[in-house]
Amino acid sequence: MAKDQIISARELEDARLRFATAQTTAKSLGGASQTRTVGANMNGYVKNVMVKPGDYVSAGQPLATVTQNNRLQLRADVPERYYTLLPNITTANFRMAYEETNRTYALSELGGRLVSKGKSSNDSSFFVPVTFEFNNRGNIVPGSLAQVFLKGATRQGVLAVPNEAITEAQGLYFVYLQIHPDAYRKQEVKLGATDGVRTEITQGLKAGDPVVTKGATQVRLAANATVIPEGHSH
């Protein structure tokens, strides 16, 4: 084509250069039957693959997302109406949605810290994000859902009991008071705020009441059967 002056000599030289470069690259990569190992500069596992077998990729193009599971982030989406309370938030407790045991994790026990508090809400969700990070010392699955209990400034004069002390029946909440060594009384209570470990009692108890804090469910079952089990602590 250059001889017939269909293309210029410069265009021919550029084409030869591109061909030589492609040929060198092909030789360095080997044949189609060979495989190449792509390494990451961090330990973790592949969360997302962004290319398919046979795709052409260029230098610098992301191939996959690698995530770590030893240091995780916890994000709580706070409704806009609680925005004025965000400055008081310091830490949080949380439960994983997939755990049937309802175990409550405390960021204070996992080396957790507050990372950021959102300054505005998402236009489509009307929630303000609050983000923490913590050490994954258990088997917490990254990306899974959690129930988060945000903790703020300490409140004085609050009457609270362990969550294990509270039982529920037909939408009402009760605790059991030990009135004698082998006698208990069922007491209806009204609940307030909770941090996932202890719950505020706003009505039904007074300071000093001997509340059954362990085995409340067994006491309830025994009361229904008119038999009180032994060995409950308070």
Say how far apart CA 110 and CA 131 lie, in whole Å: 15
Please, what's the b/e burial string for 71-87 (b: 16 or more CB within 10 A of its CB; e: otherwise)?
ebebebebeeeebeeee
Within 13 Å, how many C-alpha atoms sit on residue 59's CB side?
A: 1
**Cβ neighbours, 10 Å, residue 206:** 7
Give the residue carrying structure tokens 């592949």.
46
Which tens digits make up the pLDDT trace of 51-84? 888 788 887 788 887 777 788 999 999 999 999 9
- Quick one: what percent of the chain has pLDDT higher than 70? 85
CATH second-level architecture of 160-224? Beta Barrel (2.40)
d(CA 31, CA 83): 60
**Predicted local confidence at residue 205, as pLDDT:** 93
- Rounded CA-CA distance 135/107 in Å is 9
Q: Which one-letter amino acid corresponds to residue 119?
A: K
Domain spans in the chain, listed from the N-terminal domain onward: 71-151, 160-224
Flag whether pLDDT at 7 surpasses 80: no
CB 228 within 8 A of CB 219: yes
pLDDT (0 to 100) of residue 81:
92
CB of 215 closer than 8 Å to CB of 227: no
At the topology level, CATH places domain 71-151 in: Elongation Factor Tu (Ef-tu); domain 3 (2.40.30)
